[in-house]
Amino acid sequence: MKRSILISVAIAILLFLEATTETKGLPQSSDIPKVSVNPTSVAAGKTVTVTIANGPGKPRDWVCLYKAGAENSSHLGWRYLNGEKKAPDSGQTSGTMTWTMPPAAGTYEFRLFENGSVALRATSPKVTVTGTTEGPMPTLAASPASAKASETVTVAVDRGTGNAWDWVGLYQSGAADIDRVDWFYLNGDKKAPESGLKSATLKFTMPLMGGAYEFRYFADDGYGRLAQSQGVTVTGPAIELVGDEMKISDPKTEQRYCAFPDMVRLANGDLMVVYYSARQHVSGASTIQGRVSKDDGKTWGAPFTVVPSINSNGSGVRDPHLIQLADGTMLLNYFAGISPKVCFSHLIRSTDNGRTWSQPQPLDLGVPCKWVATCGKILALRNGDLLLPLYWERTDGVSPAGTLRSRDGGKTWGDLAIVQKDSRGQGEMEMACLPDGSLVVMIRIGFYSTSKDDGKTWSEPASTVGLAAPGLLADGPRLLMNYRGGSSTDGCSVALSLDGGKTWPVSRGLCPPAGINTAYGTIVKTKPGSPAPYFTIYYRSPEDDPVFTTYIAGRYFKVIMP
């Protein structure tokens, strides 16, 4: 009996020690961050007191006001724990601030985040706001009610709250409040004024993309909307197709799979296209064919072989791109797949407008790699240098994209420059020279990069429109692109950028997305007397055979500026 009692006591002691060990070091209720509000029911536009306790103690810990249940990105105002928009020199774990509640009835809450992040540490009890704010509300008036792209619209603000952090945003009609196009505080700057303004006159430059827009007034550096203007209609640029699509190759008389075309204007004024020709999308028996048009793309001569088949068990010869240099020399870059996992890029040259061509010149990166591919046109710089876009797989499996440089008309190549550190095997690029002498490159799928030093270094690639297989033409301030959308079934389009490739506000589909084989286009300027200022080519599937057959097609188009 005594033994059993001793055992029971021992077990109880062990359980007590285990429980205290498990809870040792855990935060007690008195240590947990807390946000409290007083009162929890208040009339619209009246104040509440917000108290923070046991905060993380970081200088940029902050509190935001929300509609109950709203996303963290949709706050209605914010403060650091010192009650200001300027962070304290050192962190504080507690704070008390007075907060003016919104003018609209509803249920609200306050949230505490750590050190300028959205790492949520505490949420207050719900606060009920009743009624509506007494007195006149802020108003916005935009003038004129219609404008052309890049024109100025004046926005008059009246009866504002007087909060220095109130702001006005420009939006596409119907857009979410967080998706603004542009914005200003009421002083017309993106730095808040020292003191608040109740009235203001703001100037907004309207976007390049046409459509319906509006202005919205928000309180306290948040998304508590207090007023909205009438709509403003913007007339933007447009792309108009001219005439019908034409077939440049014919799957009934050629190989059934013609794809990956490129085009160049020859010194004698003719247009020349080159393209992959085979029985299927990947074929070791492929050839590179050429055709010439003497009437600016209206009709095309018979096909002729530019690069013969290598009869490999890989992807064959493919993805040709053409350039003609100032001295008349033509360069054609392509890659040849000699086995399923091995391909290398080559260059051939012609001095007689493409009638005869040299033997292939292998392109050596000068670094160890498993394979090298090219799918972009050589760019001639103003100083005479040439840049050739490439992508490859290193021996460690990483697949960068970059350029080689030639200073002797394409005879030798070197000075490898990295554009994208890892393209994941999809580093198809096309470059263009902008009016200010800088370079831009569009990268599959959905990136662009720029260079200010003739391609010696490139900016970190930034996101842009989702795209594949880009083809570029720089025409003064206009940058035109033929591309396929990010999805394999998006179809081919032409697009216009007026800011050097950062944005593409105008696009126009060229053909319906008839299966996965619609892409790889290029654009040239036409001669006077042609149906339209621009001519573009691409490959596509016929709608009655969207998988196994493709042909080279072309269309004229023009850009209409407002």
Task: List, in sequence order, every residue forming a beta bridge with 336; answer none if it has no partner.
Answer: 317, 344
Q: What is the DSSP letter of 407?
A: S
Which parts of 340-461 are beta strand (E)? Answer: 342-350, 361-362, 371-373, 379-380, 386-393, 401-406, 414-420, 429-433, 439-443, 447-451
Q: Given a cut of 90, is residue 513 above it in pLDDT?
A: no
Q: How far is CA 235 from the centre of its chain?
A: 23
Please report the pLDDT score of residue 332 as a whole number.
98
Please report the pLDDT score of residue 312 as a whole number.
82
SS3 state at 379: strand
- Mean pLDDT of the 506-520 span: 76
- Mean pLDDT of the 354-375 span: 92
Please report the pLDDT score of residue 424 as a whole number.
82
**Sign of torsion, CA 37 39 136 105?**
positive
- Mean pLDDT of the 376-397 span: 95
Q: Given a cut of 90, is residue 16 above it in pLDDT?
A: no
Please report the pLDDT score of residue 23 as a whole number.
43
Instruction: Give the other-Cβ count within 10 Å of 15's Cβ.
Output: 10
N-to-C CA span, the chain: 102
- Mean pLDDT of the 538-551 span: 84
Q: What angle do CA 126, 130, 136 make, to 5 degrees?
A: 130
Q: Whose structure tokens read 């190759």?
A: 249
Beta strand 401-406 with 211-219 is unpaired
Print burial letters for 282-300: b (CB count within 10 Å at least 16), e (below 16): ebbbbbbbbbbbeebbeeb
Q: What is the DSSP letter of 206?
A: P
Q: Supply φ then ψ for residue 299, to 5 degrees.
A: -135, 160
Q: 490-505: per-residue pLDDT in tens?
A: 678 999 999 999 989 8
* 127, two tokens: 């606060």
Q: Whose structure tokens read 């961050």?
A: 33
Give me the percent of the chain exceeding a pLDDT of 90.
77
Q: How far is CA 261 from the centre of its chain?
A: 25
- Mean pLDDT of the 90-97 span: 95
Q: How confident is the model at residue 562 (pLDDT cuts 50, 70, 90)?
A: confident
Please report the pLDDT score of residue 337 as a whole number.
87
Q: Given a cut of 70, is residue 13 above it in pLDDT?
A: no
Q: 41-51: per-residue pLDDT in tens?
A: 999 989 999 99
Q: CA 257 to CA 151: how far, in whole Å?
A: 47
Nearest CA to 331 among 308, 354, 305?
Answer: 354
**ω into residue 144 within 30 of 0, thus cis?**
yes
More confident residue, 183 or 339: 183
Q: Are 357 and 418 in contact (CB under 8 A)?
A: no
- Mean pLDDT of the 230-243 span: 96
Q: Whose structure tokens read 């979410």?
A: 176
Nearest CA to 378 among 326, 312, 435?
Answer: 326
Q: CA 296 to CA 524: how far, in whole Å?
A: 10
Q: How confident is the model at residue 515 (pLDDT cuts 50, 70, 90)?
A: low
Q: Given a cut of 90, is residue 65 above it in pLDDT?
A: yes
Please report the pLDDT score of residue 9 as a whole number.
43
- Mean pLDDT of the 146-172 span: 96
Q: Are 63 and 78 in contact (CB under 8 A)?
A: yes
Q: 188-209: per-residue pLDDT in tens?
A: 999 999 999 999 999 999 998 8
Max Cα-Cα span within the chain? 115
Please report the pLDDT score of residue 276 as a whole number.
96
Please report the pLDDT score of residue 25 as a whole number.
46
Q: 212-227: per-residue pLDDT in tens?
A: 999 999 999 999 999 9
Domains and CATH numbers, the chain: 33-130 (2.60.40.2840), 139-235 (2.60.40.1930), 238-374+466-560 (2.120.10.10)
Of the candidate ranges 1-15, 112-126, 165-179, 543-557, the one whose mean pLDDT is the lowest = 1-15
Q: How confident is the model at residue 519 (pLDDT cuts 50, 70, 90)?
A: confident
Q: Are 245 and 555 in contact (CB under 8 A)?
A: yes
Q: What is the DSSP letter of 27?
A: P
- Mean pLDDT of the 367-376 span: 91
Contacts of 235 (CB under 8 A, 6+ apart): 146, 147, 148, 149, 210, 562
Q: What is the pTM assigned to this prediction? A: 0.76
- Mean of pLDDT over the chain: 90
**Sign of torsion, CA 20 22 24 29?**
negative
- Mean pLDDT of the 304-321 span: 91
Q: 396-421: per-residue pLDDT in tens?
A: 999 999 999 999 999 999 999 999 99
- Mean pLDDT of the 283-293 span: 95
